[in-house]
Amino acid sequence: MRAPVAGKRRMIHAGLLAGLAGLLVACASGSDKPKPAELTPNAALMGARLVWSAKLGEVAFPLDVRVNGNQIATAGSDGTVAAIDASTGRELWRASAGEPLAAGVGSDGKTAAVVTRSNALVVFGDGRELWRQKIPAQVYTSPLVAGARVFVLAADRSVSAFDGMTGRKLWSQQRPGEPLILRQPGVILAVGDTLLVGLSGRMVGLNPLNGSVRWEVPLASPRGTNDIERLVDLVGRVSRDGNTVCARAFQASVGCVDATRGSLLWSQPANGAVGVHGDARSVVGVEADSKVVAWSRAKGEVLWSSDRLKYRGLTAPLVVGRSVVVGDNTGLVHLLSTENGNPLNRLSTDGSAIVTAPALAGDTLVVVTRNGGVFGFRPE
């Protein structure tokens, strides 16, 4: 008996995704695992101190820490969702989705949204559950809460919009499915009156009122002879400066798009699996081997690269002031110079991997670890 097509896709997804994970960790269980670069003595050229810490449950899903002013929204795998005052570390509210999470947190500071492993979109208002809706596909990207709506990018490359207060579905946009998907955050954000989403290797501008397509820009085109080699989904985080949005296509390229005109500004080959960040001058990313690279935001040429943290399992970066901030898989937070990638400082957490891209809330640098530690650092 022949298996149904949907079943075949699920089997292909599961098998190839497991193989891809093995490739990405570079045979982590084998004897040929690349040796992480040895760390030099801490330069401590930029002062920073731990000002508070908090504890949630273990984080074993693609968590996104959402910042709104001095408030952050974070979550644990067990379904715990919390809002924290980043100035003091004081917990503003804590709630539970009632089951383990697959994606989150999206928040506008008042409303927070997560997605559970059973594909339930759960929305909270000031710590109280407002509503939940079933999503027909798996979700690994944090929902976007904006304009009194909740937008969801699912792993089957569908985009849906819901009324933020009632949960009523407003519209859904579906693209043809592909046999392999990434179990990590994609790209969804609002720029002006346009909803930007990453669909395969394309940045797509949608009308948030009805889901219609306004423009599409390819950052990478599928190549290769198998599904793994042809996988070029856009991955979060992104770097936005005004109407310029820069993003990474998985294991393929980094590029920038003019979100007003819907045009490609530049695209350069790059071999990485986590998103990018930047400022008005540069876009910074981490390659698959943890080499840190900075490109010119205007033209895309490489400004500098650093292999000082090679094979240390780095997060996506945060560019703030004169620092590039990345976390590693031993719980260390590295501050590098935006001018040349040289080390400025190194901060410790609880010894478990940093699992989210560092975030800046007000004047507090926030990181979250695999063990559920939330740490707030402040420059001195």
pLDDT per residue as tens digits for the range 210-269: 999 999 999 998 776 666 666 889 999 999 999 999 999 999 999 999 999 999 999 999
Quick one: which H or E segment has residue 21? helix 5-24
Contact 89, 82 (CB under 8 A): no
Report pLDDT for 380. Answer: 79
Most confident residue range from 21-25, 45-49, 219-223: 45-49
User: What's the average model confidence in pLDDT over 159-182?
Assistant: 88
pLDDT above 70 coverage of the chain, percent: 89
Q: Distance between CA atoms of 274 and 238, rounded to whole angstroms?
A: 10
Instruction: Determine the residue type at 248.
Output: R
Q: Are the C-beta atoms of residues 257 and 217 closer than 8 Å to each other? A: yes
Whole-structure pTM value: 0.90
Query: Is the previous residue joined to 152 through a cis bond, with omega within 30 degrees of 0?
Result: no
Location of structure tokens 């719980």: 331
Query: H or E element: which one contains 48?
Result: strand 48-55
What's the pLDDT at 235?
96
Taking a C-beta distance cutoff of 8 angstroms, is the pair 257, 264 a contact? yes
pLDDT of amino acid 225? 67
For 16-44, what is the mean pLDDT? Answer: 64
What confidence score (pLDDT) does residue 8 get?
37
- Which residue carries 């698959």 as its tokens? 288
Residues 112 and 124: beta-carbon distance below 8 Å: yes
> In the prediction, which pLDDT does 221 show?
81
Question: What's the pLDDT tens digit per position in 105-145?
Answer: 999 999 999 999 999 999 999 999 999 999 999 999 999 99
